[in-house]
């Protein structure tokens, strides 16, 4: 039964909720696959129920369970070990969107601080052990409401459970991420096309955002930096005006159909300097090294070491440390920054894992440099998901061609 409930009480009048209809055969198969994987992991951990919590900035688990975009500051899905899930949001339009998607046909409006719509459902299950994904982000009012609803139950974190389940992407998911890849490429093209002396950084981002939204992107995470070898990192765009000889760096990360994918590139306004060319060669060698070790079962640690060893071999090992950089890449999916590719992270990357390899860091050659490609782990190694050439772009070369 498809219904939208106010406070968990009565069904909405006819016509309020858009008709969702059943998912397509492919969507239904993907939904069933996800629920099967989650419930298997729940059984392994002795969980009778799972609550997936989505604050405004971490919505990936609710999206994974519903395949519906949500915009509210608080949204949740309650998945019992057996039976149908129920979704909640503080935003009525989210509940309607979830029902329209067809994966979850029971959605309610969550009214805080009581959260009665959620707590009554949870209490009815009488669970002995409850997992909460992103429970570490729960506001106190919700944490207290959950505890009051099931005072004798053990409540544990299910964040790692959901991270592990989402790590392996299905062919259904990778097809969506390929659509994200084409938008990445178009975004980079728009970036390069607009570069010229005197242009403020914010205008570059405006042009890119316009193109991405024209192509249907739901969102975009983007950082930028311009200048010479004094640049130590990237930030949101500012008013700085481009100058001849600047290297302009960006991480460009559009979201399509829920899925984020990133391209990392740098371009020079005018002709590249010798230092900028040498910097590109160093970073390109590091990306190649990271790609070369990818295989099912490789660890995030091993991918990071392969990249860092290139810097060490050329005498730039100190710039691989946390003083100059954060990660050597990270996972992609329904969250834009998943498994960190960093030394010491022994997370195994299975076939179907998707992540970007980017050894972004500062060196004295040309300042902070940005270069990287997203890959999917296949049976035979890494498949690069974008077709944009990996080179040091320059406006002189691009406009001469």
Tell me: the pLDDT tens digits for 52-80?
999 999 999 999 999 999 999 999 999 99
| Buried-exposed string 307-337: b where 16+ CB fall within 10 A, e elsewhere | bbebbeeeebeebbeeebbebbbbbbbbbbb
CA–CA separation, 359 vs 373, rounded Å? 10
Is residue 239 within 8 Å of 201, Cβ to Cβ? yes
Q: Phi, psi (5° rounding) for residue 277?
A: -65, -45
pTM of the model: 0.92
Average pLDDT for 205-228: 97
Q: Phi, psi (5° rounding) for residue 370?
A: -125, 120
- The end-to-end CA distance of the chain, in Å, is 59
- For the chain, percent of residues with pLDDT exceeding 90: 91
- pLDDT for the residue numbered 60: 98
Residue 12 has pLDDT above 90, yes or no: no
CA 98 to chain centre: 20
CA 80 to chain centre: 26
Cis peptide before 113 (omega within 30 of 0): yes
**Angle, alpha carbons 140-77-174 (nearest 5°):** 120
Picking from 55, 49, 42, the residue whose alpha carbon sits closest to that of residue 142 is 55
Average pLDDT for 344-350: 98
- For the chain, percent of residues with pLDDT exceeding 70: 95
Strands 10-11 and 3-6, how do they pair?
Answer: antiparallel
CATH of 3-166, one of 3.40.50.300, 3.40.50.720, 3.40.350.10, 3.40.50.740: 3.40.350.10
CA–CA separation, 366 vs 141, rounded Å? 49
Average pLDDT for 216-230: 97
Residue 21 pLDDT class (50, 70, 90 cuts): low
Q: How is the chain split into domains, by residue range?
A: 3-166, 171-400
CA distances from 62 to 107, 226, 333, 335, 375 (A): 12, 37, 13, 11, 25
CA 329 to chain centre: 12
Residue 4 pLDDT class (50, 70, 90 cuts): low
Average pLDDT for 135-152: 96
Dihedral of CA 198/199/202/205: which sign?
A: negative
Region label for 315, one of left (φ > 0), alpha (ψ between -120 and 50) or beta (otherwise):
left
Does domain 171-400 sit in CATH 3.90.230.10?
A: yes
Residue 18 has pLDDT above 70, yes or no: no
| Residue 219 DSSP class | E
Report DSSP letters for 336-359, one per residue.
Answer: SS-SB--TT---EE-TT-EEEE--
CA distances from 141 to 87, 111, 146, 148 (A): 18, 11, 9, 11
Residue 129 has pLDDT above 60, yes or no: yes
Cis peptide before 344 (omega within 30 of 0): no
| Residue 169 DSSP class | P
Is residue 72 within 8 Å of 90, Cβ to Cβ? yes
Residue 3 has pLDDT above 70, yes or no: no
Asked if domains 3-166 and 171-400 share a fold, the reply is: no
Strands 329-331 and 354-357, how do they pair?
Answer: antiparallel
- pLDDT for the residue numbered 396: 87
CA–CA separation, 335 vs 203, rounded Å? 27
- pLDDT for the residue numbered 17: 39
| Residue 380 DSSP class | T
CA distances from 116 to 11, 120, 311 (A): 16, 6, 56
Average pLDDT for 140-152: 96
Q: Phi, psi (5° rounding) for residue 391?
A: -155, 170
CA–CA separation, 313 vs 330, rounded Å? 23
Residue 10 has pLDDT above 60, yes or no: no
């Amino acid at each position: 039964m498809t219904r939208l409930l106010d406070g968990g009480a009565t069904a909405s009048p006819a016509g309020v909720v858009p008709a969702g209809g059943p998912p397509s055969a492919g969507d239904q198969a993907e939904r069933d696959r996800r629920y099967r994987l989650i419930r298997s992991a729940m059984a392994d951990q002795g969980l009778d129920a799972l609550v997936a919590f989505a604050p405004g900035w971490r919505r990936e688990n609710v999206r994974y369970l519903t395949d519906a975009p949500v915009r509210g500051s608080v949204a949740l899905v309650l998945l019992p070990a057996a039976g149908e899930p129920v979704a909640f949001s503080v935003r009525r339009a989210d509940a309607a969107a979830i029902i329209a998607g067809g994966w979850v046909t029971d959605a309610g409006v969550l009214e805080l601080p009581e959260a009665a719509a959620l707590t009554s459902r949870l209490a009815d299950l009488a669970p002995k052990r409850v997992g909460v994904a992103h429970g570490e982000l729960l506001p106190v009012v919700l944490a207290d409401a959950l505890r009051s609803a099931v005072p004798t139950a053990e409540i544990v974190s299910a964040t790692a459970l959901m991270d592990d389940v989402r790590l392996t992407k299905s062919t259904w998911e990778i097809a969506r991420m390929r659509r994200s890849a084409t938008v990445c490429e178009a975004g980079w093209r728009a970036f390069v096309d607009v570069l010229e002396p005197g242009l403020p950084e914010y205008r570059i981002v405006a042009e890119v955002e316009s193109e991405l939204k024209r192509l249907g992107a739901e969102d975009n995470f983007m950082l930028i930096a311009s200048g010479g070898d004094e640049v130590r990192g990237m930030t949101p765009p500012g008013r700085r005006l481009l100058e001849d000889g600047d290297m302009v760096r960006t991480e460009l990360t559009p979201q399509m159909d829920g899925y984020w994918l990133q391209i990392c590139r740098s371009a020079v306004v005018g002709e590249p300097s010798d230092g900028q060319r040498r910097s590109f060669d160093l970073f390109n060698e590091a990306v190649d090294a990271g790609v070369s070790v990818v295989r099912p079962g490789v660890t995030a640690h091993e991918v990071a070491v392969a990249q860092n060893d290139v810097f060490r071999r050329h005498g730039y090992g100190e710039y691989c440390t946390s003083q100059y950089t954060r990660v050597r890449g990270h996972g992609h999916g329904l969250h834009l920054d998943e498994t960190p590719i960093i030394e010491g992270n022994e997370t195994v990357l299975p076939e179907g894992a998707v992540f970007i390899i980017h050894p972004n860091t500062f060196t004295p050659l040309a300042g902070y440099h940005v270069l990287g490609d997203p890959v999917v782990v296949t049976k035979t190694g890494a498949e690069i998901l974008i077709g944009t050439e990996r080179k040091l772009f320059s406006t002189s070369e691009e406009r001469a061609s």
